[in-house]
């Protein structure tokens, strides 16, 4: 395992003023997204959509890496260039989602565990050969109540932490920087304080398992949620309050060797996700705090594009704007739009 090389790639991913574009929706998720925008989902329309995003002129100024899905990493632009080549030429690192979605946890079906460890070393080796420099695995933690007990259970947190650690070790052995993503969902009726408490349990378990598995912490990027009130809670929190609650969790549990954390947007609207990130960066922090947004970067360009070639320039400029706003937020220099 070449820790120095992994560390170098991790540093590039969280470089000042840069963040990650998550464009790794599975076929099912991409289909939902496209159909909601009135675009029929076919292999070709998904390719056209990703081509629009990834060929945005100037994207490399704000975006350090793009997470691709298996279908996309194998696709080419209409002009015949592989997406890996397009990104590499733009100075952007290509990455790949390697989990295979979630399934119900045995004995606690309201909770999820992530699929994809079987055969993972072979898949990682293939992606590395195709030019991927980093990987991503997402674990999902649900807050709520089931059969009279509160979830997440410790068993669910431990299982997801162990699987994330096993994945991270395999990714590092294959020469890929693992993005380690435990996502505490923000769609429940819980308060921000409960989100912070659950996030603390999840991250504590995660770093224990990463260390047990021999993962080089300086060669990973964490991707986790902000501490926010659940969507159904009715509670509102300002960016300063979200930053305070989130940073309290991080200060309690994140190790110093960790280079950076790239937030998921998790259903926040795009301006909110930018403002919250900016608030986190209003003071220097021990880790680089950046973005790895899917919806908060893609919603605006998708709405502008709606599958029409004549809308590509407007859609690309919508993406570039969100990328630039989030770049400013990584530096604590964002001005509310
Ligand atoms: P969102 O920013 O839409 O939450 O997506 C990020 C991601 O990659 C989730 O796995």
* Residue 292 in this model has a pLDDT that exceeds 90: yes
Q: Whose CA is nearest to atom 9 of ligand 1?
A: 264
Which residues lie closer than 8 Å to 156 by C-beta, 6 or more apart?
Answer: 105, 108, 111, 112, 113, 141
The residue ranges of DSSP E strands in 185-231, in sequence order, are 221-222
With bands split at pLDDT 50, 70 and 90, how would you rate the model's confidence at 180? very high
User: How many A from CA of 153 to the centre of ligand 1?
Assistant: 23
Rounded Cα distance between 86 and 93, Å, is 10
Q: What is the pLDDT of residues 257-281, one digit of tens each?
A: 999 999 999 999 999 999 999 999 9
Region 83-88: mean pLDDT is 98
Specify the CATH architecture of the domain 3-330: Alpha-Beta Barrel (3.20)
327: Cβ–Cβ under 8 A, 6 or more apart, which residues? Answer: 17, 18, 19, 61, 62
Among 18, 169, 223, 288, the one annotated catalytic: 223
Tokens of 302: 């998708």
Q: What is the pLDDT of residue 146?
A: 82
What residues contact residue 80 under an 8 Å CB cut-off, 6+ apart?
none
Domain boundaries of the chain, sorted by first residue: 3-330
* 113, 227, 248 from 239: Cα distances, Å: 31, 11, 14
Question: Taking the complete model, does pTM exceed 0.75, yes or no?
Answer: yes
3 state DSSP class of 111? strand
Query: Taking the mean position of all CA atoms in its chain, how far away is CA 217?
Result: 18
Split at pLDDT 50, 70, 90, the class of 132 is very high
- Asked whether 294 lines ligand 1 (CB < 6 A), one says yes
Segment 32-46 shows an average pLDDT of 98
Percent of the chain residues past pLDDT 70, beyond the cut: 100
Could you tell me how many helices (H) and strands (E) the chain has, helices first?
Answer: 12, 12
Positive or negative torsion for Cα 31, 35, 41, 45: negative
Which atom of ligand 1 has the smallest separation from the CA of 67? 8
Under the banding of pLDDT at 50, 70 and 90, the label for residue 1 is confident
pLDDT band at 147 (very low <50, low <70, confident <90, very high): confident
Catalytic residue among 111, 181, 183, 209: 181
Which residues are CB-contacts of 126 (< 8 A; sequence separation ≥ 6)?
A: none
Q: Which two tokens stand for residue 56?
A: 């945005």
Question: What CA–CA distance (Å, rounded) separates 7 from 178?
Answer: 11
Q: How far apart are CA 234 and CA 225, in angstroms?
A: 19
Is 293 close to ligand 1, i.e. is its CB under 6 Å away?
yes
Question: Among this protein's residues, is 129 annotated catalytic?
Answer: no
How confident is residue 225, by pLDDT bands cut at 50, 70 and 90?
very high
* CA 296 / ligand 1 centre spacing (Å): 8
- Minimal-distance CA residue to ligand 1 atom 8: 22
Q: Catalytic residue at 181?
A: yes
User: Cα–Cα distances in Å, from 132 out to 16, 36, 53, 55, 290?
Assistant: 22, 30, 18, 18, 21
Backbone Cα Rg of the chain: 19
First vs last C-alpha separation in the chain? 45
């Amino acid at each position: 395992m070449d820790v120095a090389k992994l560390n170098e790639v991790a540093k590039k991913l969280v470089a000042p003023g840069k963040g990650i574009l998550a464009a790794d929706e599975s076929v099912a998720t991409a289909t939902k997204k496209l159909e909601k925008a009135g675009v029929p989902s076919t292999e070709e329309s998904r390719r056209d959509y990703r081509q629009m995003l990834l060929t945005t002129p100037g994207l490399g100024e704000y975006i350090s890496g793009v997470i691709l899905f298996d279908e996309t990493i194998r696709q080419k632009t209409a002009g015949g260039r592989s997406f890996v080549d397009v990104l590499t030429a733009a100075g952007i690192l290509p990455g790949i989602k390697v989990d295979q979605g979630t399934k119900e946890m045995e004995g606690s079906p309201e909770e999820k565990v992530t699929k994809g460890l079987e055969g993972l070393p072979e898949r990682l080796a293939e992606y590395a050969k195709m030019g991927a420099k980093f990987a991503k695995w997402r674990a999902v933690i649900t807050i709520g109540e089931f059969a009279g007990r509160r979830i997440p259970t410790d068993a669910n947190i431990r299982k997801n932490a162990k699987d994330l650690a096993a994945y991270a070790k395999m990714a590092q052995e294959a020469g890929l920087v693992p993005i380690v993503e435990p996502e505490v969902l923000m769609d429940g009726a819980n308060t921000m304080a409960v989100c912070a408490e659950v996030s603390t349990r999840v991250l504590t378990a995660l770093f224990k398992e990463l260390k047990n598995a021999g993962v080089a912490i300086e060669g990973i990027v964490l991707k986790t949620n902000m501490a926010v009130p659940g969507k159904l809670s009715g509670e509102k929190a300002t960016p300063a309050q979200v930053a305070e609650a989130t940073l309290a969790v991080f200060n309690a549990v994140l190790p110093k060797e960790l280079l950076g954390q790239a937030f998921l947007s998790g259903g926040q609207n795009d301006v909110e996700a930018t403002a919250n990130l900016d608030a986190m960066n209003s003071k220097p922090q021990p880790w680089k705090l950046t973005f790895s947004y899917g919806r908060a970067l893609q919603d605006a360009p998708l709405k502008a594009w709606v599958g029409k070639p004549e809308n590509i320039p407007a859609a690309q400029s919508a993406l570039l704007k969100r990328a630039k706003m989030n770049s400013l937020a990584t530096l604590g220099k964002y001005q509310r739009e």
